[in-house]
Structure 1
Amino acid sequence: MSSLYNKKVINRLKRSEGQIRGVLKMMEEEKDCKDVVTQLTAISSSINRAIGLIVAENLAQCVSDREADGESAEQSIQEAIDLIVKTR
């Protein structure tokens, strides 16, 4: 496992994966749409938090790597911000 992604983030995504399977089962069983949407909203929030954690925890490393490749720190930071904003 890469040190870029800690166990907390990986476990969060595994939980989301399980929740998605649960939603698919709910849909197959024709459960109430309100319940399905509630679960999908929870999954979406969890994934958005994972994205935020990944960007926050890895921003310094990503900037350093990009600078080594000749990009500016400002450009790397702006790309990170754009990724976060795009998910909202």
Structure 2
Amino acid sequence: MRKKIFVGVTIVGIIFGIGGCQSWERNMKSLSSDISGGLNRTVTVYDYNGQVIRQYAGKFDVSESENEVYFDIDGKRVIIHGGIVINEEN
């Protein structure tokens, strides 16, 4: 019986201990984003001279691969090849 209580208390302690970690907060934010359809964010695309090419704002998820950044906004898929992409979560 004591062993079960010790294990239970240890598990609860670990869960609460992890709760204050930045990685835990990032994981919770990602889960919230997945459930609610994205986060409020602003994506700005710059050319290689630092000039703004385009800016997108709204509630959406951003994904990336080796060659592109992509997201869906206002019912359209946006795929960005090249440039400098800044993704700000609001």
Return the TM-score normalized by structure 2. Answer: 0.29
Higher relative contact order (CA 8 A, sep 6+): 1
Structure with the largest fraction of helix: 1
Return the TM-score normalized by structure 1. Answer: 0.30
Structure with the largest fraction of strand: 2
